[in-house]
Amino acid sequence: MGSHATATLQHPADTSADAIDRLRAIGREFHGRGWSLGTSSNYSVVASRDPLELIITASGLDKSALGRDDFVRVDAAGNVCDGGRGRASAETLLHCTMAALDPTVGAVLHTHSQWATLLSGLDLARGSVRIAGYEMLKGLAGITTHETAVEVPIFANTQDMTALATDVRRRFADVDLTAARPTVHGFLLSRHGLYTWGRDLAEARRHVEIFEFLFEAVARERMFGTPASAAPRSQAGHWQQQQQQQQQ
Ligand SMILES: [Zn+2]
DSSP state of 63: G
pLDDT given for residue 26 in this prediction: 98
Element (H, E) at 219: helix 201-224
In DSSP notation, 26-40 reads HHHHHHHTTSS-TT-
Instruction: Name which of 176, 197, 167, 152 is nearest 44 in CA terms.
Output: 197
> In angstroms, rounded to a whole number, what is the distance separating the alpha carbons of residues 140 and 199?
12
| C-alpha of residue 3 to centroid of ligand 1, in Å | 33
Instruction: Name which of 245, 248, 29, 236 is nearest 134 in CA terms.
Output: 236
pLDDT given for residue 241 in this prediction: 54
> In angstroms, rounded to a whole number, what is the distance separating the alpha carbons of residues 32 and 209?
13
| C-alpha of residue 108 to centroid of ligand 1, in Å | 12
Q: Which CATH number fits domain 3-247: 3.40.225.10, 3.40.47.10, 2.40.50.140, 3.40.190.80?
A: 3.40.225.10
Helix axes 16-32, 201-224, angle to 10 degrees: 20
Instruction: Kindly give the pairing relationship between strand 186-189 and strand 193-198.
Output: antiparallel
CB atoms within 10 A of CB 24: 20
| C-alpha of residue 190 to centroid of ligand 1, in Å | 10
Q: How much helix, strand and coil, in percent to the nearest 5, is found in the chain?
A: 40, 20, 40
| C-alpha of residue 194 to centroid of ligand 1, in Å | 8
Length of the chain: 248
pLDDT given for residue 228 in this prediction: 53
| C-alpha of residue 240 to centroid of ligand 1, in Å | 34
| C-alpha of residue 234 to centroid of ligand 1, in Å | 33
pLDDT given for residue 214 in this prediction: 98
| C-alpha of residue 106 to centroid of ligand 1, in Å | 20
| C-alpha of residue 124 to centroid of ligand 1, in Å | 16
| C-alpha of residue 103 to centroid of ligand 1, in Å | 23
* pLDDT tens, per residue, the chain with 248 residues: 333 333 344 334 446 889 999 999 999 999 999 999 999 999 999 999 999 999 999 999 999 999 999 999 999 999 998 766 678 888 999 999 999 999 999 999 999 999 999 999 999 999 999 999 999 999 999 999 999 999 999 999 999 999 999 999 999 999 999 998 889 999 999 999 999 999 999 999 999 999 999 999 999 999 988 655 545 555 444 545 555 555 54
> In angstroms, rounded to a whole number, what is the distance separating the alpha carbons of residues 102 and 246?
39
| C-alpha of residue 4 to centroid of ligand 1, in Å | 30
| C-alpha of residue 21 to centroid of ligand 1, in Å | 21
| C-alpha of residue 77 to centroid of ligand 1, in Å | 18
| C-alpha of residue 164 to centroid of ligand 1, in Å | 12
pTM of the model: 0.85
> In angstroms, rounded to a whole number, what is the distance separating the alpha carbons of residues 44 and 49?
14
| C-alpha of residue 149 to centroid of ligand 1, in Å | 26
175 three-class SS: coil
pLDDT given for residue 41 in this prediction: 96
- Bridge partner residues of 110 (DSSP): 42, 195
| C-alpha of residue 60 to centroid of ligand 1, in Å | 11
| C-alpha of residue 112 to centroid of ligand 1, in Å | 6
